[in-house]
Amino acid sequence: MGREKYGIVAFRSVNPSTSSQLLDGNHWDETTDTAILREMFADYHPIVKNIVAATPHVRTYPNFYGGFLDTYHFGGRVVLIGDAAHSHGGALAANASLGMDDAYCLYLSFLEHVSPSGNLNLGAKELKQVLSLYDAVRRPHCEKVLEVAHAMYNGNNQRLWGGGEAETDEQLREKLRKRPYAEWIHEYDVEDAFEKTRDDMQVGKL
């Protein structure tokens, strides 16, 4: 952030059933009382508490994960990409990559209707084809990401508020050591997925 300047990122899970006051009226990039941050880490190691105590100001960014949509396009002319289509709360560090893949896939779908002379002339029928192809490519993959994210959050919620056993530091370290690398997310080839889906649609497989 600059010479002798540092940023701290802290995450706090909130149960909407019992802590709605922390969510109601809370806006993106809003200044928050530093006492809330100190309270969050009151029982942590002294080094952590000293870092928190030195924090001059705090800004909050409400982070939610959403459900599954039946479609990513509506009315033949409206399309959703990124978190608007598949908000998963930042799990798996995939927000930006999913959004960029969405945008690129939509571009590829439009490109299918560019003439050799470089013109893009779309009627209602062609536009629907563009959006349907985009949806067919992206929604299955993004729903798979959402399924993993929901499983992660549901497990955490059960542990935090559902009476599950508290996770020890050693259990957390072991989980992180054995955590598999999600190649199917981070090495996802949107061009390959697009071509396969397009070809399947052309021969009537989808």
The more confidently predicted of residues 143 and 25 is 143
Residue 164 has pLDDT above 70, yes or no: no
The region of weakest confidence among 2-6, 57-61, 70-74, 169-173 is 2-6
- The first and second tokens of residue 149, run together, are 């994210």
Q: What are phi and psi of 140, to 5 degrees?
A: -60, -40
What 8-state DSSP symbol labels residue 121?
-
Specify whether the CB–CB gap between 65 and 88 falls below 8 A: yes
- The first and second tokens of residue 33, run together, are 């009382």
Q: pLDDT tens, 41-80?
A: 999 999 999 999 999 999 988 878 888 999 999 999 999 9
For the chain, the residue count is 206
What is the per-residue pLDDT for 80?
Answer: 97
Q: pLDDT tens, 109-153?
A: 999 999 889 899 889 999 999 999 999 999 999 999 999 888 888
Average pLDDT over residues 164-186: 79
DSSP-assigned beta bridge partners for residue 30: 60
What is the per-residue pLDDT for 141?
Answer: 95
What is the per-residue pLDDT for 177?
Answer: 83
Q: How confident is the model at residue 23 (pLDDT cuts 50, 70, 90)?
A: low
Cα dist from 4 to 1, 7, 59, 159, whole Å: 8, 10, 20, 38
DSSP-assigned beta bridge partners for residue 31: 59
Residue with tokens 């989808």: 206
- The first and second tokens of residue 152, run together, are 């992660």
What is the per-residue pLDDT for 95?
Answer: 83
Q: Give dist(CA 50, CA 10) in Å, integer.
A: 14
Predicted TM-score (pTM) of the model is: 0.79
- Region for 152 from its dihedrals, namely left if φ exceeds 0, alpha if ψ lies in -120 to 50, beta otherwise: alpha
